[in-house]
Structure 1
Amino acid sequence: MEQKKKIVIVDDDLAYLKMMRGSLAQDYSVIPTTNGAQALNIIKVARPDLVLLDYMMPGMDGADVLAKLRSNPRTAAIPVMFLTGKNDSESVHKVLGEKPEGYILKSMSILKIAQVIEDYFKMKDRQEEMDQL
């Protein structure tokens, strides 16, 4: 049996974190955490297949977490998608300027979010297959 892909979800909103975990736990191994500093430690140890990272958090925000991940050779290649509640063009450009693998609007339905994640993994798997040819 294929092992479930591992996703770390970082969000300071506990209700949102619980909803995401509950919705994704059937298909993925989900590791929730509520702050950036804790996330960095978890990510180093867990080596997830994807990090869903809240962009706006108190203390260390998503951009800071991503910068620290990218600056560490052990975590630089771990894919990150930002979770954001802001969808105005200025905010989107700022988020994309950090060069994540993508971003997910928190206002999207959980089914749509799950589809974005599934599509990402399918695309990544296809890319890995092509790289092996």
Structure 2
Amino acid sequence: MRNLPDPERAKPCVLVIDDDEAVAWAIAGRLGKDFHVVGLSDPAQAVQRACAEKPGLILCDINMPGMQGDDVAFALSQDPRTADVPLIYLTALVGPEDDPELEGVFGDYATISKSATTEQLREAVAAALGLSSNEED
């Protein structure tokens, strides 16, 4: 008898890069129903981990010690295996009400507040993955 596919692996993968592991856990809790969330607290391993996990989307903190979010985004863009993976900056520098004002501030990357509602976060992730977010909870 064949093994059944892992339901977690069937969900779109979202790689969360944040030096605070609690952030990845919180996002996994908020998105886990619809997405397979993988956390990474060492931004220097972003390219290697993205190649291993093959995420559909990367959520990346902006302000991290050692390697800033723009350094991570640049490194990912330089590797052909990760260059086409959409990235959204994740930040605590602003509140969710400021999100629309951030368009273009961090280059071509979308930005979402860490304090965005679960609905706002889901919508941003679904949109970046090209999925419909019309599902009822």
Structure 1 and Structure 2 fold alike (TM over 0.5): yes
Is 2:115 aligned against 1:103?
Answer: no
Q: 1:1-133 residue pairs with structure 2 within 5 A?
A: 3-87=10-94, 92=102, 95-97=105-107, 99-100=108-109, 102-121=110-129, 124=130
Q: Runs of at least 4 residues of structure 1 off by over 3 A?
A: 91-95
Describe the shift of the 1:57–1:109 C-alpha distance in structure 2 as closer, same or farther (beyond 3 A): same
Q: Which has the higher helix share?
A: 1
Describe the shift of the 1:93–1:114 C-alpha distance in structure 2 as closer, same or farther (beyond 3 A): closer
| Offset from partner CA, 1:17-76 (integer Å, 9 cap, x none) | 211111111211111111211222110121110000001111111100100111111211
Conserved? CA contact 1:86–1:92, under 8 Å? no
Cα distance in structure 2, aligned partners of 1:125 and 1:20 = 18
Structure 1 residue runs of 5 or longer lacking an equivalent are 127-133
Please provide the CA RMSD for this pair: 2.5
Equivalent pairs counted in the alignment come to 121
Percent identity of paired positions between Structure 1 and Structure 2: 31
Conserved? CA contact 1:70–1:77, under 8 Å? yes
